[in-house]
Amino acid sequence: MFTGIISDVGVVERVDAGTNLRHLRIACGYGAETIALGASIACGGPCLTVVARGTHEDHGWFEVDVAAETLARTTARHWKRGTRLNLERALKIGDELGGHLVTGHVDAVAKIAAIADFDGMRRIEIVPPQDLARFIAEKGSVALDGTSLTVNAIEADIFSVLLVPHTLKVTTWGERHAGDDINLEVDLMARYAARLSGSP
């Protein structure tokens, strides 16, 4: 479980691609000694399991396997050497819940429709898959590329989020462009509410 509060930006250093599995090495600012084998780290949204870790020169690194289901449902299929990823380590009991409860189970890929910069902030308009739009509510929460964000407004089939300067500085959101694909995880509570109400 995660909160959507990004703690580092990692960089893909290596991609070993197989037919149904990709093995990645991701450089990070985490000390290798603090990363446990088998630990969960949210990488650009998807929760991935650490299978190796170490140190190279002035930075740590960890390795993960990305399976077929994750490749099919997320932007992980596009990751290559040099791709920058928002990172978050798993929530511990007693940690501050600064964002919202995020599972790291990405629902689908959404697309950035437009970006507007003003006063150091950035407004991003996003088109979600049609079947997920009903889980997105104004002033509700979404996780986009692993980042917990508040839905600012909804107009027709597009919703928008507003990013403040700090978020733009410590995440990959300052690098995004219109037309980019992003990982979308809808709010867990919205999904359960729909289930309990009998909605399909």
pLDDT score, position 175: 96
Of the listed 40, 70, 74, 171, which one is catalytic?
A: 40
Residue ending a domain, choose from 89, 122, 139? 89
User: For the chain, where are the alpha helices, taking DSSP H only?
Assistant: 68-73, 165-170, 188-196
Q: Which domain does 164 fall in, by range?
A: 108-196
62 is catalytic: no
CA atoms of 61 and 102, how far apart (whole Å): 23
Matching residue, tokens 């990004």: 6
Of the listed 150, 178, 193, 199, which one is catalytic?
A: 150
Residue whose C-alpha is closest to residue 25's, from 5, 41, 6: 41
DSSP of 111-155: EEEEEEEETTEEEEEEE--GGGGGG--TT-EEEETTEEEEEEEEE
3 is catalytic: no
Residue ending a domain, choose from 56, 89, 122? 89
pLDDT score, position 197: 66
67 is catalytic: yes
pLDDT score, position 200: 58
Which CATH number do you get for residue 30?
A: 2.40.30.20
Of the listed 27, 28, 47, 110, which one is catalytic?
A: 47
Q: What values do phi and psi take at 130, rounded to 5? A: -60, -35
150 is catalytic: yes
Q: Are residues 156 and 83 in the same domain?
A: no
Q: Are residues 64 and 143 in the same domain?
A: no
Of the listed 39, 52, 67, 113, which one is catalytic?
A: 67
39, part of any domain = yes
Phi/psi zone of residue 120: left (φ > 0), alpha (ψ -120 to 50 degrees), beta? left
Q: Are residues 48 and 126 in the same domain?
A: no
49 is catalytic: yes
Q: Are residues 84 and 138 in the same domain?
A: no
Of the listed 23, 32, 49, 133, which one is catalytic?
A: 49
User: For 94-158, where are the alpha helices, taking DSSP H only?
Assistant: none
2 is catalytic: yes
Q: Are residues 130 and 83 in the same domain?
A: no
**Contact predicate 22/66, CB 8 Å:** yes
Count of domains observed in the chain: 2
158, part of any domain = yes
Residue ending a domain, choose from 89, 120, 149? 89
Of the listed 39, 90, 105, 190, which one is catalytic?
A: 105
Q: Are residues 117 and 69 in the same domain?
A: no
2, part of any domain = no
Per-residue pLDDT of the chain (200 residues; tens, 9 = 90+): 899 999 999 999 999 987 789 999 999 999 999 999 999 999 999 999 999 999 988 899 999 999 999 999 999 999 999 999 999 999 877 677 777 889 999 999 999 999 999 999 999 999 999 999 989 999 999 999 999 999 999 998 899 999 999 999 999 999 999 999 999 999 877 776 766 666 65
